[in-house]
Each structure stands twice: as structure tokens, then as C-alpha cells.
Amino acid sequence: MTTVDRMRRKNFHIEPFVVVAAFVLLAAGGCQWLGNSGRENVATVGGAGISLADFNERMEKKLSLMADVPSLNEKQVVLLKADVLNELIDEKVMINRADKLGISVSDGELKKRIEEIKKDYPEEGFKEIFKGRESHYRTWKEELRKRLILEILIHQEVTPQITVTDEEILSYVKSHAKEGISEERVRISQILLPDREKADAVLERLNNGEDFAKVAKDVSTDPEAEKEGDMGFFSRGVLPEALDRVVFSLSPGKISKVVETPYGYHIIKVLEKEKGGEVLSVKAREKVRAKLKREKEERAYSEWLGRLRSKAVVKINESVLSKTGVRKNQPAQK
């Protein structure tokens, strides 16, 4: 293993609904959400109803994650109800679209996804969550089926056409230079010696005008001596800290003083530099690409959903909605 290798090693949308524990939370205590029998609809979307039961269930999920339900004032309750209703309307709009396109998820496909989810749990851990709660498991399965349908729908209608070009990546890097996304790189050559006395003597030779490449080939104890000491390019943070600090402070063509590291005594010459913004590592480039793609997907999803909703006939049953409320004298579920 070369010194280069040793140095490099030393410094090194819509998601499927899988939060199954939420159903355990809902089953753990008394209901905090007051409604009627749940058979009425709080709204219809294109003629398809959103039942009060579904509304109550979604509301309970929200409340189960809140720390202090009794402290909610009337305005906060109204806003929470509106938020829940809008979520359900958006979902119904998308489900109606999926129905129109004939998108479905078979029992086999659903079972396959459940098996994938089970892998994230310890052995028998998944079964324990729903033990004695078969109705909750059935509800969760159908919720998962719905989420998979929406996943397919969005993949078909929103994400396929979204791409990020190299030009967009470069533009982003240049405009966000202060964020440290781009990587300044330096190409160096080194002479490595086992003791300080020899290193000082070699540095004096270099200061007297001897050729760095020739001296490196003659006296350096590092395997790169065969390549006249050329170690190639390094980004910040890869070399040992003492070397990293020195090489990025030197201009191309300049030679360092003797630098001590656990590997020995180094004399470094900077051969060339590439400024940040001009070069990105593969990892940094893909990180930027993923960020830009995610932002594009979020915008495209919002615009797509807005178009669907603008065409949908939505009717809200205010009289049913007004009958619901939060039980103020009951503590939040844990």
C-alpha cells in the first residue's frame, strides 16, 4: 500500500405508509376526537365521499403525535381540522385520478411490499405490533395499498420527465460557493524522509536550486519516488491535517518547509491547483444532482396536484364538520 493510500484511508415525495406503530398509539387509550357515528361524509370529491370515520381516524393520528392536546385553543383546532380535511381531499383527488387511469395494486404486490417492510423489524417484531389487533392490521394493509397506488401514480405522471443537467449542477455550485459544495483540489509531489536531519539537508539542496523531481526520485523513501514524488490530486480533508493545511496555502510551483506527520518528514511541492467551483467530486456532483431533482420533483408535484384539484368538484359538508371537536379534559395519548 502506498503512502497515498494510507493517507486517504486515515481521513476519510411521497413515501409508502410504513409507520405501523401509529395504530398501536391509537388503540392505547381513550379517543380524544369527538364525532358522530362516522357514517356521514365530511366532503365529496368528484362524487366520491370522504367519510366522517376516515376524517376522525386521520385526526386521531395527528392528535396521538401531539404533546399537549388539552392546550389547543379554538383557532388551533379549526386550523388542524382544515389541515386534515385538505390532506384527505388531496388524497381523494389523486385516488380518483388513479382509478381513471386503471392503476391498482394486487394482493400479491401488496404482500411483496409487506415482506420488504418486515425486514426492517427484528424477528417476530412486526407480528408483535399487531398481535391481538387484527382489525388494525387490515386497516394498515389497505392504507399501504392506497399509498402504493399513489406512488405508482406519481411515478407515472410527475417524476419521469424530471432531469437535472450538468449545466444546472455547475450553475448551482457557482451560486452556492460559500456552502462548500465545490471542492478545491491540489496536485502535489513529495519527498518523504525518515528523520528530520536528512529532511533539513534535502530542503537546503532544493533551496539551492536542485530539481525537485530528480531529488525526490533519488532520496525519497516513499513508493511515489519512482514517479518523481508525484502523488496526484487531493481534496481538502483527505491528507493528514498538518499536510492539508500546508499544501492548500501554497501557490503552484512553491515548496514547503519540512512537515512532520506520523509517516515521517515531508517536503511538499505544489504542482497545480483547481479552484472550487470548477471541479466537483463524483460524490459531491451526485449530491447536488439529488438535491436539485428533489426540489424539481416537489415543485412538479405541487403544480400537478394543483391542476388536478382545480378540475375536481369538491363539496364540503360544514354541518357534519362542525359536530366534531377535541375533548379538552383528556390528556394526550402516549
Cα three-residue angle 290-284-266, rounded to 5 degrees: 170
Provide the pLDDT for residue 134.
85
The mean predicted confidence, pLDDT, of the chain is 81
Provide the pLDDT for residue 103.
96
What's the average model confidence in pLDDT over 220-242?
Answer: 86
The stretches of the chain forming alpha helices (DSSP H) are 3-10, 21-28, 52-64, 74-101, 107-118, 125-130, 134-157, 166-175, 196-207, 212-219, 241-247, 282-311, 318-321
Place of cell 405541487: 302
Answer whether residue 41 shows pLDDT above 70: yes
Q: Which residue has the higher pLDDT, 300 or 175?
A: 300
| Residue 169: pLDDT band with limits 50, 70, 90 | confident
Per-residue DSSP letter, 163:
-
91-115 pLDDT, tens digit per residue, is: 999 999 999 999 999 999 999 999 9
Q: Which residue has the higher pLDDT, 90 or 26?
A: 90
What's the average model confidence in pLDDT over 288-304?
Answer: 92
> Which residue from 139, 64, 18 is spatially nearest to 330, judged by alpha carbons?
64
Provide the pLDDT for residue 179.
56
Answer whether residue 34 shows pLDDT above 70: no
Answer whether residue 268 shows pLDDT above 80: yes
Provide the pLDDT for residue 182.
54
> Which residue from 209, 281, 229, 273 is spatially nearest to 247, judged by alpha carbons?
273
53-91 pLDDT, tens digit per residue, is: 889 888 888 887 776 666 778 888 888 889 999 999 999
| Residue 271: pLDDT band with limits 50, 70, 90 | very high
pTM score of the predicted model: 0.58
CB 34 within 8 A of CB 327: yes
Answer whether residue 25 shows pLDDT above 50: no
Q: Which structural domains are found in the chain, ordered by start?
A: 21-163+300-326 (1.10.4030.10), 184-274 (3.10.50.40)
Residue 28 to residue 312: CA distance in whole angstroms: 37
| One-letter amino acid for residue 20 of the chain | V
b/e per residue 77-90 (b: at least 16 CB within 10 A): beebbeebbeebbb
Task: Return the axis-axis angle of helices 21-28 and 134-157, rounded to nearest 10°.
Answer: 140
> Which residue from 273, 269, 274, 245 is spatially nearest to 189, judged by alpha carbons?
269
Q: What are phi and psi of 148, to 5 degrees?
A: -65, -40
Q: Is 122 helix (H, G, I), strand (E, B) or coil?
A: coil
